Chains A and B, each alone.
Chain A
């Protein structure tokens, strides 16, 4: 990387994470102004968005090539009081916590105390939402049965298609106006709400143009007329070259994450595809070289790193305890016509990923049968350097998953994965993640006949005292009843929350970007997208499988331990029952060893979870689906569960993603992949499999070839995703001891990479424990 990029990168790495009250103050000022009272909700939201972009401080750093910051400075992170109003106590926690902190200065505290809190108290989404949740939801939430993504953040989780590379915002406004003209107020009962939504979209599109021109003015005054010209061109008009295309996306990205705090943030998706025509055109005209393209991409990369995920507190912080905001750049895969999409730019972007070594943006390669091996090998050579990127996805599986969900094959091929591992049709789908679901906790509740053992409260159904279960099937039936009961609670909550966002917090700006919001005259949060999906993310598959396998094997098959004895040992956290615990750990079948006696339970649990959720309608006219990924919720969920029949002690983390319980897989990586492939992954919207390898596995070209065939074989079995942590446990222990020496140590957590130092100690320990497959000596 050249000197300019080096400086910008360092500046980004060293920037301080802090809270900026700027946005919260603008939003408050706007909503306090009486002349803004009379608008419809979408128009009000759009005008508020415009007010922010007209008034926020413009931040342009020296030597920048891509400009624009969400806050007044890099990593100065705004808050969204209309969604989640932080208390003074929250701000103090954010300021002082050891990990994933945000510094809060006294001015911010004063602004919150005197202006923001007095206005928003009682009006924030979080309060509105919690008022709406009934006791069964609140009990289940408190017990750690599930989490709620839309408690502190807005629905997001979408990815941009190729729209902005073809259309400027002025053209989009014209499209909106034409749609308004065609509204039929005589026959369409929704004509009014459509008009208000469409007007809101036009206002927000105009707001982005204003925001860009304010940058142009500042750049002009600084004598940087080349950049100023770009900011006058985009987003008003379609981009003419590589630089304009990147800058256009960046303004759009800032728009989306300023309008609300969607989870995940936003994502350019298939960047190598979208930019390729500009890249090729620039090379042909001689206006772009490979080096200048790389410099621009690196400058673009750094912008993502300047924008941490907005501050989370409480359970939301526990389930996703990271600065990462999950913009996942997709490389490779298939073109719309089904041909190989890997191009020169895909390789150039891999160079950028390797050089930048940044936590954000996340990056992945899509690997189809039709993609060449050298693409995979190049990616693995970066994986080898041990910062967990890029992760590797099976394009053919993603396409099949999306088509199964009813998407056209073209829309499916234009899709990919976002966030951690979630499949989506880019530019056409609104897929919300609604929360993690603690499948292992369901078994615990079943074993205690409906009681949450940690609180002693009856929160589930009375499905019977397990001591009276004469067969394993009776236990499974009880488990199924509890599972369906809690899924119902979760889905009821989701449907209310979805409506709350639809009514109170539409996102007209995001709606201009996703097809078919404009033609339907409907907001992204109200079902305006072509495809609408809501996911419930299952957690702890490995753990619950091992618990069931242990019960079946020890209690019902071998009959050498009674369920009464196991329950007694569990209640005592195995203290005084060490011998039994040893037996449960060492001599019971375990998921991850390609052993059907264990893996059949994984299949069964998967099918029950799938049947309970898949295909049910959502409030905005979409469909509920499942996927299996944890972010960091497996640690939180583990902390809400006592000792379990697989020998796991109370409060320890659960297995993550579809990986086996930490240390339970003893037959090496091929057995893990075989076990993981036994669940029908094509029926999900994504699964996450983490494999930790010591560096020796990647020691030479020959080893890389073997890892490559490991990946290809897993994908042949319809595996969705695999990621590699290349680091030795000794190094991690060392890093835990001397964090100051390992400030740059990045590890793969679960669908994303993070600084090892920023992880909580229990998660650090868990990563160390994850089976370390010994490489060839």
Chain B
């Protein structure tokens, strides 16, 4: 079986515990305005012509086709570091569940090799899909972007209905889960946004207590320009450090363990 990935990052230290290798699967059902990897949205291999003038232009290919077996060999290379640090492999994207069979084969392979697995997911997938992953994934890094459905729809292109349902399902299965909240000025950082999120969680997923706040940064700006994507967040201000700390304190008062950054 084969799948399409667009990057492998070793010594990844922000996608779960320990030293990890993160593999980025291509394709995403969402179109978040703040997306750091806009070139990963489309499911197929893409070619971009990059460079400022016709002379310096070169073709950049995004996406590579890998077989499960070859990829597992590559991913296992840092095993000694995983073992020493309590790390492992993280599936990220894109949205890894977009290539569900490929993902399951990879995760299965990891489990057989005794390697810890984590998945970085937006949660937007058909009901029932997460059920297939329960015995293969040790840690879910689950994005929580916005509790208000209208706003969610506006900034990500999809309703959050399914995402919240899937989150409730994972809660009912008592999985290890960390909520990852991208923290974006003007989009989900108001007092209202945060308190509504807390209310929802207390009611629906009370045992999920780990939150990672991921402050928005504009590093991806150059990428949007390079590949010719429209950057709807071009003019966004940088995060205010004090606001971030305030939110952290608020969440901690509400019983959450909060980490800033991954």
A residues in contact (CB < 8 Å) with B = 594, 667-671, 673-674, 703, 705-706, 709-710, 712-713, 716-717, 773, 776-777
Cα A171 to Cα B161 in complex, Å, equals 87
Further pairs besides A674-B78, A674-B80, A706-B19: 13, Cβ < 8 Å: A670-B77, A670-B78, A671-B77, A709-B19, A709-B81, A709-B84, A709-B87, A710-B11, A712-B84, A713-B84, A717-B80, A776-B14, A776-B262
A-B CB contacts (within 8 Å), total count: 55
Q: Is the CB of A670 within 8 A of B19?
A: yes
Chain B contacts with A in 53-98, Cβ cutoff 8 A:
77-78, 80-81, 83-87
Cα A674 to Cα B79 in complex, Å, equals 11
Q: Is the CB of A670 within 8 A of B81?
A: yes
Tell me if B217 counts as interface (CB < 8 A to partner A): yes
Q: Is the CB of B10 within 8 A of A713?
A: no
In the bound complex, residues from chain B placing their C-beta under 8 Å from that of A777 are 217, 219, 261
Of chain B, the residue at the smallest CB distance from A672 is: B11
Task: Map CB proximity to A onto B8-25 as digits: 1 under 8 Å, 0 otherwise.
Answer: 011101100011000000
Question: How far in angstroms is the closest Cβ of chain B from A210?
Answer: 54
Question: How far in angstroms is the closest Cβ of chain B from A423?
Answer: 23
Q: Report which of A671, A705, A709, A717 forms a contact with B10, defined as CB distance below 8 A.
A: A671
Of chain B, the residue at the smallest CB distance from A667 is: B10
Q: Is the CB of B9 within 8 A of A668?
A: yes
Q: Report which of A671, A705, A773 forms a contact with B85, defined as CB distance below 8 A.
A: A705
Q: Is the CB of B11 within 8 A of A670?
A: yes
Q: Is the CB of B80 within 8 A of A713?
A: yes
Cα A594 to Cα B83 in complex, Å, equals 18
Cα A673 to Cα B77 in complex, Å, equals 11
In the bound complex, residues from chain A placing their C-beta under 8 Å from that of B217 are 777
Question: How far in angstroms is the closest Cβ of chain A from B36?
Answer: 10
Q: Report which of B13, B77, B78, B87 forms a contact with A703, defined as CB distance below 8 A.
A: B13
In the bound complex, residues from chain B placing their C-beta under 8 Å from that of A669 are 11
Cα A670 to Cα B217 in complex, Å, equals 26
Q: Report which of B14, B85, B262 forms a contact with A713, defined as CB distance below 8 A.
A: B85
Question: How far in angstroms is the closest Cβ of chain B from A772?
Answer: 14
Cα A773 to Cα B10 in complex, Å, equals 11
Cα A648 to Cα B18 in complex, Å, equals 36
Q: Is the CB of B219 within 8 A of A713?
A: no
In the bound complex, residues from chain B placing their C-beta under 8 Å from that of A712 are 84
B residues in contact (CB < 8 Å) with A = 9-11, 13-14, 18-19, 77-78, 80-81, 83-87, 217, 219, 261-262
Q: Is the CB of B81 within 8 A of A713?
A: yes
Cα A776 to Cα B83 in complex, Å, equals 21
Question: How far in angstroms is the closest Cβ of chain A from B126?
Answer: 33
Q: Report which of B9, B77, B78, B80 forms a contact with A716, defined as CB distance below 8 A.
A: B80
Cα A645 to Cα B13 in complex, Å, equals 35
Q: Report which of A668, A674, A716, A773 forms a contact with B84, defined as CB distance below 8 A.
A: A716
Q: Which 5 A-B pairs have the closest CB atoms?
A: A709-B85, A713-B84, A668-B11, A709-B84, A713-B81
Q: Is the CB of B85 within 8 A of A706?
A: yes
Of chain B, the residue at the smallest CB distance from A674 is: B77
Q: Report which of A594, A713, A776 forms a contact with B261, defined as CB distance below 8 A.
A: A776
Of chain B, the residue at the smallest CB distance from A668 is: B11
In the bound complex, residues from chain B placing their C-beta under 8 Å from that of A710 are 11, 19, 81, 84-85
Cα A703 to Cα B77 in complex, Å, equals 21
Q: Is the CB of B261 within 8 A of A706?
A: no
Cα A716 to Cα B19 in complex, Å, equals 15
Cα A717 to Cα B80 in complex, Å, equals 8
A-B contacts, 27 of them at CB < 8 A, read: A667-B10, A668-B9, A668-B10, A669-B11, A670-B11, A670-B19, A670-B81, A671-B11, A674-B77, A706-B13, A706-B85, A709-B18, A709-B19, A709-B86, A710-B81, A710-B85, A713-B19, A713-B83, A713-B84, A716-B80, A717-B80, A776-B13, A776-B14, A776-B261, A776-B262, A777-B217, A777-B219
In the bound complex, residues from chain B placing their C-beta under 8 Å from that of A668 are 9-11
Cα A709 to Cα B85 in complex, Å, equals 5
Of chain A, the residue at the smallest CB distance from B77 is: A594
In the bound complex, residues from chain A placing their C-beta under 8 Å from that of B81 are 670, 673, 709-710, 713
Question: How far in angstroms is the closest Cβ of chain A from B11?
Answer: 4
In the bound complex, residues from chain B placing their C-beta under 8 Å from that of A667 are 10
Cα A335 to Cα B151 in complex, Å, equals 65
Instruction: Please indicate which of the listed interface residues A668, A706, A776, A777 has the most CB atoms of chain B within 10 Å of its own CB.
Output: A706
In the bound complex, residues from chain B placing their C-beta under 8 Å from that of A706 are 13, 18-19, 85
In the bound complex, residues from chain B placing their C-beta under 8 Å from that of A713 are 19, 80-81, 83-85
Cα A776 to Cα B212 in complex, Å, equals 14
Cα A712 to Cα B85 in complex, Å, equals 9
In the bound complex, residues from chain A placing their C-beta under 8 Å from that of B219 are 777
Of chain B, the residue at the smallest CB distance from A697 is: B13
Of chain A, the residue at the smallest CB distance from B262 is: A776
In the bound complex, residues from chain B placing their C-beta under 8 Å from that of A773 are 11
Cα A706 to Cα B83 in complex, Å, equals 12
In the bound complex, residues from chain A placing their C-beta under 8 Å from that of B85 are 705-706, 709-710, 713
Cα A703 to Cα B86 in complex, Å, equals 13
Cα A699 to Cα B144 in complex, Å, equals 26
Of chain B, the residue at the smallest CB distance from A699 is: B261
In the bound complex, residues from chain A placing their C-beta under 8 Å from that of B80 are 674, 713, 716-717
Cα A699 to Cα B85 in complex, Å, equals 17
Cα A710 to Cα B18 in complex, Å, equals 10
Cα A652 to Cα B152 in complex, Å, equals 54
Of chain A, the residue at the smallest CB distance from B78 is: A670
In the bound complex, residues from chain A placing their C-beta under 8 Å from that of B87 are 709
Cα A713 to Cα B79 in complex, Å, equals 9
Cα A669 to Cα B81 in complex, Å, equals 11
In the bound complex, residues from chain A placing their C-beta under 8 Å from that of B13 are 703, 706, 776
Cα A713 to Cα B83 in complex, Å, equals 8
In the bound complex, residues from chain B placing their C-beta under 8 Å from that of A709 are 18-19, 81, 84-87
Question: How far in angstroms is the closest Cβ of chain B from A740?
Answer: 33
In the bound complex, residues from chain B placing their C-beta under 8 Å from that of A703 are 13
Of chain A, the residue at the smallest CB distance from B11 is: A668
Question: How far in angstroms is the closest Cβ of chain B from A225?
Answer: 55
In the bound complex, residues from chain A placing their C-beta under 8 Å from that of B262 are 776
Cα A671 to Cα B78 in complex, Å, equals 8
Question: How far in angstroms is the closest Cβ of chain A from B54?
Answer: 17
Cα A594 to Cα B10 in complex, Å, equals 11
In the bound complex, residues from chain B placing their C-beta under 8 Å from that of A674 are 77-78, 80
Question: How far in angstroms is the closest Cβ of chain B from A23?
Answer: 51
Cα A706 to Cα B11 in complex, Å, equals 9
Cα A444 to Cα B152 in complex, Å, equals 62
In the bound complex, residues from chain A placing their C-beta under 8 Å from that of B84 are 709-710, 712-713, 716
Question: How far in angstroms is the closest Cβ of chain A from B210?
Answer: 14
Cα A17 to Cα B84 in complex, Å, equals 46
Cα A378 to Cα B18 in complex, Å, equals 19
Question: How far in angstroms is the closest Cβ of chain A from B97?
Answer: 25
In the bound complex, residues from chain B placing their C-beta under 8 Å from that of A717 are 80
Cα A22 to Cα B30 in complex, Å, equals 79
Of chain A, the residue at the smallest CB distance from B9 is: A668
Instruction: Please indicate which of the listed interface residues B10, B11, B87 has the most CB atoms of chain A within 10 Å of its own CB.
Output: B11
Instruction: Please indicate which of the listed interface residues A667, A673, A709 has the most CB atoms of chain B within 10 Å of its own CB.
Output: A709
Cα A712 to Cα B77 in complex, Å, equals 16
Cα A668 to Cα B22 in complex, Å, equals 12
